[in-house]
Structure formats: C-alpha cells, structure tokens
Amino acid sequence: MSTRLGSKIINIPDFPKKGIQFKDLSTLFSDSAAFQEAIDLLSHRYITKKIDAVVSIEARGFIVGAALAYKLGTGLIIARKPAKLPRKTVSISYALEYGTDSIEIHEDAIRPGMKILLVDDLLATGGTVSAALKLLKTMGADIVECCFLVELTALNGRGKVKEEGVFSLIQFDD
C-alpha cells in the first residue's frame, strides 16, 4: 500500500450508518499532487497493455476512470445506474444486502474482443464490479484487469472477481 497516499484518505466512522467505516476519497482527489501520483502509478501498470477502453463504474469510479483513460490514451465507457444513459442499453441486475440494483452500458459501447480495463474508486464487497464484469463478458469484452484506487480487504470483494485479476493501489483492513 502507498502509505503516503493512504494517509490522504479520511476515515469517517458510522457513515452512512452505524458500523460503517467510510473512506472519504475526496480528500485525496482534492490534493493535486496525491491525485496525480495515484493516477501516474495506476497508468504505469497498464501503459503497455494495449487497452482499447477504460470502463468506469458510477459515480466516483468516473473520477479515477476518466483520468486513467486520459493517461492511457484510451476511450472511456461509463457503467451507470438505470435510466441515466440516453440511448439503448444493455443492463444487468445484482443483489444488494436489502434488494437489488442494476447497471447499464450503451449497447454499442463494447465491440467483441475489445481489451477493457474495468475501473472503480473502491472495492468493498465486490457486488457492483462482479455485475459489471458479467455484463462486459456478455457483450464480448476481453477484461485485462479490475483496477481500484482503494480496496477494503476485510470485506473480501476480491474473492468475487479474482479470476479476472484485481489490482488496488491502496488497501485498508478496517
């Protein structure tokens, strides 16, 4: 873990509900040197991988994904919550602790065989990224890896997506 970068993230206890240790990444994003360092470190990992596009997950994943796509010289494809994209979409539903949710991608965004880097800001339980992976695979994408700025290791989200490869720059065990 990058201790210096991890120190830029503030822990907010009991947010949004009791027992949750919320990691506020906005403090890292607002520190220009730390944000640049984080994106540079991530981009160095993928610069030689010949990635066709970065797919980023709503909402904070857009911040990391857009900066990373720019550094890699690739396109950016966004995975959004339902009814947020204006054209025809492909979607997948997934289970939450209490109910279900869905994510969508424009149906023409992925061509079969595209080399995709799947990016989100934080890996927790892995439910959202697992759903995004399934959706991308049904669209014919070739997943290079799942990339996260932060991983909450105690929640074992990595276990849901490890077959695709997982990289996180910063890890917290609480």
Q: Catalytic residue at 111?
A: no
Q: What gap in Å lies between CA 174 and CA 167, rounded to an integer?
A: 18
Domains of the chain: 49-172 (3.40.50.2020)
Q: Catalytic residue at 104?
A: no
The one catalytic residue in 97, 104, 151, 164 is 97
The one catalytic residue in 37, 45, 58, 60 is 60
From first to last of the 174 residues of the chain, give the pLDDT tens digit.
467 899 999 999 999 989 889 999 999 999 999 999 999 999 999 999 999 999 999 999 999 999 999 999 999 999 999 999 999 999 999 987 677 899 999 999 999 999 999 999 999 999 999 999 999 999 999 999 999 999 999 999 999 998 889 999 999 997
**pTM of the full structure:** 0.94
Q: Is the dihedral of CA 65, 165, 141, 81 positive or negative?
A: negative
